[in-house]
A and B are shown apart, each in its own frame.
Chain A
Amino acid sequence: MINFQQVSKTYPGGHRALEKVNFHVKPGELAFLTGHSGAGKSTLLKLISLMERPSAGHVFINGVDLNAVKSRQIPYVRRDIGIIFQNHRLLERHTIFDNVALPLIIEGTHHKQIEKRVHGALDKVGLLDKVKCHPSTLSGGEQQRVGIARAIVNSPPLLLADEPTGNLDPELSMDILRLFEEFNNHGTTVLIATHDLGLISRMKYRSLTLKDGRMSQDPLAEATL
């Protein structure tokens, strides 16, 4: 599903965020991406979501080389990827319903279908009773779940999450991870970037570790693969 081949990324100014990174995440796999702050986790997710382009190497998603994707095609690539952000990035001026419905509205989905899908997604994350609320009235955990509902509402084959449990207590973190597990059980490929090693050890999934922009050895990789 995700295939990095000799990927390097150097930002203007000379900061080298990634260096010759190679890894492969299979379709339907759930994997963690770990590493200390500044190790290159966010850059790696940016490359997958086409927020950045690699300085060298190739990123393949489902066999498609992202280097070949033209700028005007980027929105259509992003529609296949559900992204969950650490700081939720919800639209404060809109209701929870509108926030979750956004990817469907963008696709031009019929309003009846939108209603059905949004209610389904919110039901899955346990927030069906908050449809008419605004994000500011929800707790951090609830906002994160709204972000997840928005990411899965159009059933993307690939989910990316950047520190999804960053601001949550351990119990809520486990609830969120169980949600990812559930989506993964339905065939969605999930890549979670986190520095919470305790959480990773409890979940026993494959873990990719970045250190100073390089992919280091993964102790669980062999067993998982």
Chain B
Amino acid sequence: MSLLFKGRKSQNERAKKSLFAAGYFFVLNIFRQGVHSLGEMWRTPMASMMTIAVLGLSLTLPATLYLVVKNVQQVSSGFEEAAEISLFVKESMSEQETQTLVKRLALYPEVDNVSFISKQNALIEFKQVSGFGQALEYLDSNPLPDVVIVTPTSRHRQPNAAQALLKKLEAEREVDFGKLDIAWLERLNALLSLLKESVITIALLLLTSVTLIIGNTIRLSIMDKKEEIQVMKLVGATNTFIHAPFLWTGIWYGIVGGLFAFICVALMMWWLGSAVSEVAGVYQTSFNLIGLSITEFGALVLLATSLGFIGSYLSVNRYIKEIEPDKV
């Protein structure tokens, strides 16, 4: 409805659209503007491609570092699974008491598996492995204790949980002391944690710069279309109407930049894959690099799209309201 002329209707209002139809045309118009802004990008291919490349490459670095952390975690999780607790049984305990201990430990909810190595078996094994077989013959008695090897469940293999379980097991009457060789695992986890923090810091810096780059590109586009914006305002365009194509441009930059980053990451993983397999082969093991999952791919594109939107929104909000028609 007109503000100055009561009863004057726009062409739109004259068409007597229902609320549903009005909503439908509103959404349709938004999508039309989206398609139109895609066409605008197509008309300036070099500038658009360069912005998309900057965005894509800036996202490639944190995405790759993320994958490095993910793959190292995959390797270390294999080590964590090997974490075992060795419980040394008191010398004074009889064989029956030790067997009772083994049975009792097996009932612990935190324990996955329990195995028993008698002192006799331990000595035989030591003789074979150590190379001191002859020397050990001269000992009066077997100095080795009975040992119970406890494998925690997967939920209790993390350093903190495993330490807590060790304390609990050491409290058993029959146990002299326990041992959990976990220091190296803690060091590895600390390094992984440091790597994760570094990835987050680098990602934040790069994402901020991406937002600013998109914001600046949109600002240049706004300045380039200053005259058009003035004319639009003079013929009655609202700020929302003028904002839409620029916001769409930011969104398109984000979507295409996100896809570009994904392709770069996938190419890098493919390139590194054969080298990693070769290294694994030297250690007589196999290792396959893990790439981005569908969810992670979606998250990457969504993140890039959000950055595109935020960058363009900041520019649009700041600069379009400053452009006012100055001459008739």
Residues of A in contact with B (beta carbons under 8 Å apart): 42, 45-46, 49, 51, 61-62, 64, 69, 72-73, 75-80, 83, 85-86, 89-91, 93, 102-104, 106-110, 113-114, 117, 150, 154, 157, 160, 162
Contact = CB atoms under 8 A, between A and B. Distances in A.
Given A91-B227, A106-B232, A117-B11, 10 more contacts: A45-B328, A62-B4, A64-B3, A89-B234, A90-B231, A108-B12, A108-B26, A110-B12, A113-B15, A114-B11
Q: Which 4 pairs between the two chains have the least Cβ-Cβ distance?
A: A79-B236, A78-B236, A109-B11, A162-B328
Size band of the interface chain B makes with A: 20 to 34
A79 B328 contact: no
Interface stretch (B254-262, B301-309, B319-327): B319-327
B10 A110 contact: no
Contact of B2 (A76, A86, A110, A150): A76
B318 interface: no
20 contacts: A49-B328, A51-B325, A62-B5, A76-B3, A78-B235, A79-B10, A80-B4, A80-B8, A83-B235, A90-B231, A102-B231, A103-B235, A103-B236, A107-B12, A108-B25, A109-B12, A113-B15, A157-B5, A157-B8, A162-B328
Contacts of B232: 102, 106
B3 A51 contact: no
Given A49-B234, A80-B5, A150-B235, A109 B328 contact: no
B235 A77 contact: no
Contacts of B11: 104, 107, 109-110, 113-114, 117, 154
Nearest to A113: B11
Given A75-B236, A104-B11, A61 B328 contact: no
Contacts of A109: 10-12, 15
B296 interface: no
Contacts of B25: 108, 110
Contact of B10 (A86, A102, A107): A107
Interface string B218-232: 000000000110111
B328 A42 contact: yes
B237 interface: yes
A217 B325 CA distance: 31
A90 B227 CA distance: 9
A110 B26 CA distance: 10
Nearest to A109: B11
Contacts of A102: 231-232, 235
A166 to B, nearest CB: 12
Interface in B9-31: 10-12, 15, 25-26, 29
A90 to B, nearest CB: 8
A4 B38 CA distance: 46
